[in-house]
């Protein structure tokens, strides 16, 4: 136990953690910052789901969530759906004041067998932020998630910052897939001095899969640089 752990432990006796979603008391939920009720309301993505976008689906033929999308990666998987308490976790660990919530992201990964199977033994590549944005924000949630996932998956899984963001794009949230793809074309490149090892599996990691444009732009950059095998994992599916 380090001093930091001890101080945190004392802090939690004096000020017990409150739920990151509803503000209620956290007890016996298996999570550090989610109460029992909110823990129950996390929607884990269970099979069957689309191999391309990770959304749960039951029909055959083209997926209604990603029809026409041409992935530059193999499979995509998400741990949970982006709503309710899971949405609060993402909003939390995406900013400096809520970064402690990342611990519960690791718990979520540990409860997601399909995600762990993809990550076990793989090289996990976080989606990078532009250096200006990274400075502004003080953290990159994808890096934190990649580290959590490597811990949870084991089997030699490790993280590697193989990508850099060369173009600074405006916020994409309000844009459709076509506009996003236009903006993100050539937004990413292989980080200087990086290369791939034959026989290893690579896995892109991000917080939320929305249209898949950002992840696909990263995937294209990795593929063009010679990445031998590439899948995608996100914490949540929007």
Nearer to Zn ion, 77 or 220 (CB): 77
Please, how many CA atoms are within 13 Å of residue 163, restricted to the half-sphere of its CB? 36
DSSP of 155-166: TT-EE---EEE-
In the shown chain, the binding pattern of residues 63 to 102 toward Zn ion, with x for contact by CB under 5 A and - for none, equals x-xx------------------------------------
According to the binding rule CB under 5 A, does residue 17 interact with Zn ion? no
Given candidates 29, 38, 212, 233, which one binds Zn ion under the rule CB under 5 A?
38
> Which residue stretch of 50-58, 143-151, 207-215, 223-231 sits at the interface with Zn ion (rule: CB under 5 A)?
50-58
Given candidates 29, 31, 33, 35, which one binds Zn ion under the rule CB under 5 A?
35
Nearer to Zn ion, 35 or 163 (CB): 35
> Which residue stretch of 29-37, 40-48, 86-94, 174-182 sits at the interface with Zn ion (rule: CB under 5 A)?
29-37
Nearer to Zn ion, 22 or 225 (CB): 22
Contact (Cβ atoms closer than 8 angstroms) between residue 163 and residue 206 = no
Q: How far is the CB of 128 from Zn ion (least distance, A)?
A: 25
Per the rule left: phi > 0, alpha: psi between -120 and 50, beta: everything else, 35 is beta
According to the binding rule CB under 5 A, does residue 21 interact with Zn ion? yes
21: Cα separation from own chain's centroid: 19
Question: Contact residues for Zn ion (CB under 5 A)?
Answer: 19, 21-22, 24, 35, 38, 50, 52-53, 63, 65-66
């Amino acid at each position: 136990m380090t001093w930091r752990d001890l101080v945190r432990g004392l802090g939690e006796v004096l000020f017990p953690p409150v739920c990151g979603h509803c503000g209620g008391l956290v007890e016996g939920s298996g999570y550090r910052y989610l109460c029992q009720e909110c823990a129950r309301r996390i929607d884990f993505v269970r099979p069957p789901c689309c191999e391309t976008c990770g959304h749960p689906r039951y029909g055959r033929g083209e997926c209604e969530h990603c029809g026409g999308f041409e992935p530059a990666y193999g499979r995509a998987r998400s741990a949970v759906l982006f709503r309710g308490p899971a949405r609060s976790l993402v909003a939390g660990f995406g900013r400096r004041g809520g970064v402690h919530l990342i611990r519960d992201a690791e718990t979520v990964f540990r409860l997601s067998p399909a995600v762990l199977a993809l990550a076990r033994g793989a090289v996990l590549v976080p989606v990078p932020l532009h250096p200006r944005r990274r400075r502004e924000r003080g953290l990159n949630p994808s890096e934190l998630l990649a580290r959590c996932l490597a811990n949870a998956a084991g089997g030699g899984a490790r993280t590697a910052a193989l990508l850099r963001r060369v173009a600074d794009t405006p916020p994409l949230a309000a844009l459709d897939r076509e506009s996003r793809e236009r903006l993100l074309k050539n937004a990413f490149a292989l980080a200087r001095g990086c290369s791939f090892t034959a026989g290893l599996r690579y896995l892109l990691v991000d917080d939320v899969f929305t249209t898949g444009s950002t992840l696909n732009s990263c995937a294209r950059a990795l593929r063009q640089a010679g990445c031998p095998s590439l899948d995608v994992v996100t914490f949540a599916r929007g």
